[in-house]
């Protein structure tokens, strides 16, 4: 029997690595929860400073200092559509351990190992999210969970969905933060890029195709990062994958 992850939950935090991850990986699920009366907050680790930019009217943002501020704006617009609280950034109050000065976690970057699997890049600096000790970053997230009175935190599964080092790190940080704050933890199990569903045990699946029209404005908010073509998303690098309109959540206790 699969555990009902959300039974009795009223305040749920999603922890993501970069702006746009919340909408791509969990946007339909967040809308499902908020439309059902569940309070949702999104905490984001970085501003996605190293993200590429879709060719076109926003191309001038690539590699500029304006990109992170622009992506903050995109995130705020998407969260408003999804009905979630935020944006909140790890390292800034209330997502900062008490008594510590603000900290800015930077996008760690990545490289493509295959066409669909990412791995660590070779140039993540000392301020990169992946350079932070899990315990330190977890204390920041735990501070938010306590301040927001969360009863569940959700993040990526152990491989980060497709191997991005920031996603993998976020999994470990969220799991550790849940333990520190005595909050339940669950992980998102995403549909594979070829459209097939993983056969993992103890996964509760949510079929959310009816959220497609509602989700579109949140997806379009992230115009610097991807485009939407029907029920597919096309990433800045040209990779095409189906929208996450069927999302799995694995209870981890």
pLDDT score of 105: 96
The closest alpha carbon to 18, from 61, 65, 50, belongs to 50
User: Are 204 and 1 in contact, with CB atoms under 8 Å apart?
Assistant: no
Structural domains of the chain, with CATH: 11-251 (3.40.50.10320)
- pLDDT tens for the chain, residues 1 to 253: 455 889 899 999 999 999 999 999 999 999 999 999 999 999 999 998 888 888 888 888 887 888 989 999 999 999 999 999 999 999 999 999 999 999 999 988 755 555 566 556 667 788 889 999 999 999 999 999 999 999 999 999 987 676 588 999 999 999 999 999 999 999 999 776 566 666 666 889 999 999 999 999 999 999 999 999 999 999 888 888 889 899 999 987 6
**What's the pLDDT score for residue 196?**
65
pLDDT score at 198:
66
pLDDT of residue 1: 44
Tokens of 219: 């997806």
Q: How far apart are CA 46 and CA 131, in angstroms?
A: 13
Tell me what pLDDT residue 160 has: 65
Residues whose CB falls within 8 Å of the CB of residue 150, separated by 6 or more in sequence, listed in order:
11, 12, 13, 41, 144, 181, 183
Query: According to the model, what pLDDT value does residue 124 have?
Result: 73
What's residue 49's pLDDT? 86
Query: Would you state the structure tokens that stand for residue 17, as one six-digit string?
Result: 């690595």
Whether residue 184 contacts residue 227, with contact meaning beta carbons closer than 8 Å, is answered with no
């Amino acid at each position: 029997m699969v555990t009902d992850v959300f039974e009795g939950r009223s305040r749920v935090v999603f922890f993501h690595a970069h702006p746009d991850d919340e909408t791509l990986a969990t946007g339909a699920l967040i809308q499902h929860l908020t439309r059902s009366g569940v309070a949702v907050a999104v905490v984001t680790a970085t501003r996605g400073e190293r993200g590429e930019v879709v060719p076109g009217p926003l191309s001038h943002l690539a590699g500029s200092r304006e990109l992170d501020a622009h992506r903050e704006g995109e995130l705020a617009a998407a969260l408003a559509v999804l009905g979630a609280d935020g944006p909140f950034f790890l390292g800034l109050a209330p997502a900062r351990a008490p008594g510590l000065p603000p900290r800015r976690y930077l996008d760690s970057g990545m490289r493509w190992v295959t066409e669909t699997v990412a791995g660590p890049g070779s140039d993540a600096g000392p301020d990169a999210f992946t350079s932070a000790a899990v315990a330190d970053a977890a204390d920041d997230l735990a501070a938010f969970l306590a301040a927001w009175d969360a009863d569940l935190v959700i993040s990526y599964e152990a491989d980060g969905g497709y191997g991005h080092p920031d996603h993998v790190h976020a999994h470990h940080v969220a799991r550790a933060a849940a333990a520190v704050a005595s909050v339940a933890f669950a992980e998102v199990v995403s549909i594979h890029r070829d459209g097939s569903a993983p056969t993992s045990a103890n996964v509760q699946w949510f079929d959310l195709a009816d959220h497609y029209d509602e989700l579109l404005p949140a997806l379009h908010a992230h115009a610097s990062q991807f485009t939407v073509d029907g029920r597919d998303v096309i990433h800045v690098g040209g990779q095409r994958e189906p929208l996450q309109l069927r999302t799995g959540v694995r209870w981890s206790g």
